[in-house]
Amino acid sequence: MGSRIKFSNGRRLVDDVIRIAKTFPSAGLYGDFDAGPVTQLRRLTRPKISWNVLYMKAYGIVAARTPELRQCYVGFPRAHLYQHDQVVCMLTIIREFEGENRLFFARFNNPQDENLDELQARYDYLRKAPIEEIKQFRHQIQFAKAPRLLRSLAWWIMFNLWPAKRASHIGTCGMSLSGFKGVYGNQHLGPLTTILGTDALPHKGISRLMLTFDHRVLDGTPAASILQEVHQVLLVEIKQELAELVQFDESNVDELESSPQSKPEASAKVA
């Protein structure tokens, strides 16, 4: 016979997130993009800058320029949109806690305003520091310990009565791993208007990006444009900052900029 296993702290929080995400009319788009020139520069950075950090800053730059990426749907008392005045990126991180691998959600406020090496240092800290030292992770653990009824009430208040607090608690946009070792998902579930999925290890310089979005706030054509703009920011602003980090001279940067780039393509996957 089988045995009954208690729902862990981490699974309770994921259960909350999935239940809320199922109320979102979400759709997904993905595209394969040539990140080759950035790949060449990234190899030379010390410490090496994670692809998550590179795309987080690019995503933050686009979100700061694009009001829709800072908006969220509010259904009470009447349906309307609420627009945040800052970018708060919530990045999913897997950490071991109490004998299991669980998801934590790491908050980065206005990542577009930080240097890549500063973002990388913070990312490394959130990935490696003891869980007990990280305040936002401790809060997630404590919240998951509360009875389900209280957690549901807190979620409802945040989504319907206090949308201004949503940014500080769950972010304005999200990031998560969408592919690894050639295996890709087709959508991310989460209580955010947009979630950018990244490929941890682009193959031969080709990076697959996936954007899951709330169709009440965003439509397919602007969502596709957002993916392309994130890629363009990666190839221009992010690439330039990487070049400065490795102290390339101008001739080397020009040589990298002349590298062939494939045209970005995107195809839709509707949930």
Joined tokens for residue 35: 């990140």
Q: Which residue carries 């010390």 as its tokens?
A: 46
Which residue in 86, 76, 104, 84 sits closest to 13, CA to CA?
104
**Do residues 161 and 154 touch, judged by C-beta distance below 8 A?**
no
Q: In the chain, which residue ranges form alpha helices assigned H by DSSP? A: 9-21, 36-42, 51-65, 116-128, 135-145, 148-160, 166-170, 220-233, 239-245, 250-257
Kindly tell me the sign of the dihedral angle through the C-alpha atoms of 191, 192, 193, 198: negative
Q: pLDDT tens digit string along 125-178?
A: 999 999 999 999 999 999 999 999 999 999 999 999 888 888 888 899 999 887
Q: How far apart are CA 55 and CA 26, in angstroms?
A: 22
Q: pLDDT tens digit string along 207-266?
A: 889 999 999 999 999 999 999 999 999 999 999 999 998 874 444 444 444 444 444 444
Q: How many CB atoms lie within 10 A of CB 254?
A: 10
